[in-house]
């Protein structure tokens, strides 16, 4: 499953990544994203901030789509996609719901990246020892 990139969609997976380039074009004065050059050259261990659309269900059974911005730690790049580990717990769904939670792996593309950070290696090795060991 993690050898070939597969992007999620809200219909099948109940969540998807929002295209940051499209959001930036809609709001160029207020929505900054890193340059394309920086986004396509993410390295293992860097953190990419992504915007997620997540389907939820209200108590009355009505379906809503909530937006969240969360960090994903880059594991590898392949075929123009990145594989990463979600480094946040979505606030709009119950923890342990099974479909999107801290530590889950997901594919994303450079156009999904809306921010970049460089977490310290000791954070990566303590948080994700199976992926980042010294």
Convert the chain into a string of H (helix), E (strand) and C (coil): CCCCCCCCCHHHHCEEECCHHHHHHHCCCCCCCCCHHHHHCCCCCCEEEEEEEEEEECCCCCEEEEEEEEEEEEEEEECCEEEEEECCCCCCCCCCCCCCCCCCEEEECHHHEEEEECCCHHHHHHHCCCCCCC
pLDDT at 56: 86
Q: Which of 13-17, 30-34, 72-76, 92-96 has the lowest mean pLDDT?
A: 92-96
- Does the domain spanning 10-127 belong to CATH 2.60.40? no
pLDDT tens for each residue of 32-69:
999 999 999 999 999 999 999 999 888 888 899 999 99
């Amino acid at each position: 499953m993690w050898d070939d990139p597969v992007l999620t969609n809200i219909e099948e997976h109940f969540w998807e990544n929002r295209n940051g380039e499209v959001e930036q074009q809609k709001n160029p004065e207020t929505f900054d994203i890193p340059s394309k050059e920086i986004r396509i050259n993410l390295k293992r261990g860097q953190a990419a901030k992504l915007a997620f659309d997540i389907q939820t269900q209200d108590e009355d059974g009505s379906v809503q789509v909530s937006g969240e911005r969360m960090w994903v730690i880059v594991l590898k790049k392949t075929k123009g996609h990145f594989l990463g580990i979600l480094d946040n717990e979505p606030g709009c769904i119950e923890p342990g719901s099974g479909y999107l939670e801290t530590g889950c792996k997901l594919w994303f593309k450079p156009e999904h990246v809306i921010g970049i950070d460089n977490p310290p290696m000791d954070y990566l090795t303590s948080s994700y020892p199976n992926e980042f060991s010294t």
